[in-house]
Amino acid sequence: MLTGSIVALVTPFTEHGNVDYAALEDLVNWHVEQGSDALVIMGTTGESATMSHDEHVLVVSAACELADGRIQIIAGNGSNSTAEAVHLTERMAKLPVAGFLNVNPYYNKPSQRGLLAHYRACCDASDLPQLLYNVPGRTGADVLPEQVAELAEIPNIVGIKEATGDLSRVAELRRLCGSNFILLSGDDPTGCDFMLQGGDGVISVTANVMPAVMKQMVDAAVRGNNEEAKALDEKMQAVHEAMFVQANPIPVKWALACMGKLEPNYRLPMTEPELPQQQHIEQTLQQAGILSAES
């Protein structure tokens, strides 16, 4: 099942802009140790938009090999071009991935008919389960619950990462799509409430830096333990905010660099945070007990 505490994993780069596979190995091992349920590789947080198709597939392949069955790997397969999304899906369907995360086609703003045709083509390219990814702040288009329900009739569309932060959608999606349709929060600040209202987990940016606390919170929320989940979520709220002081994944990669998990390298047009944001991120990590004041 593609549920629980799922990390939207960053892609570490060397100073020359190549994928840092040694750092990737360390990250995969760390998340296994911390108890995360799955990793999304080559999603938005992984800077997939700046990767060639060959790089994209190689990174997913490497993550599968490094995970070695210890943690599920979910591959991002979305594109604003249906042909590209289908091509990526076909190539990665041969890898030991648990499924795909398929972002709504960005920029194009397709009609409902075009959206359905896009997802049908992607699903025809592989029998593996696919999660929809609704993030209108990135794509410029909002997939409404009624549209999700229609897409959910495609057999291998098994759930959605809902990143609007609109908690009213949880009950509506559950009503329209049924009890077996996987509902995942893609909005860290509201993820706890999303699950307490019936969601099945998160695909989280904050889980990159606080994986153990996120896992504990998700487990408590899915069990319906409101008090425990809220207390754990409160420990992460300031970090949630800090992870979005600039466009994702700029802050989270800076945070991981401060933690010594990778070098603060980005692919253009992404660059390191401005100095005030750097300081805010570092201070937030110190207050959360992730960094010492001397770091």
Binding positions? 45, 203
Helices (H) and strands (E) in the chain, counts: 12, 8
Q: How far is residue 10's CA from residue 208's CA, in Å, rounded to a whole number?
A: 8
Of 106, 107, 161, 253, catalytic:
161
| Active-site position among 21, 119, 133, 235 | 133
Active-site residue 266, yes or no? Answer: no
Contact 46, 76 (CB under 8 A): yes
Contact 162, 134 (CB under 8 A): yes
3-state secondary structure of 93: coil
Active-site residue flag, 133: yes
CA–CA dist 87, 176 (Å, integer): 31
Where do runs of H (alpha helix) occur along the chain?
21-34, 53-67, 82-92, 112-124, 136-139, 145-151, 168-177, 191-196, 211-223, 226-242, 250-258, 275-287
The angle formed by the CA atoms of residues 163, 110 and 185, to the nearest 5 degrees, is 10
List, by residue number, the catalytic residues. Answer: 133, 161
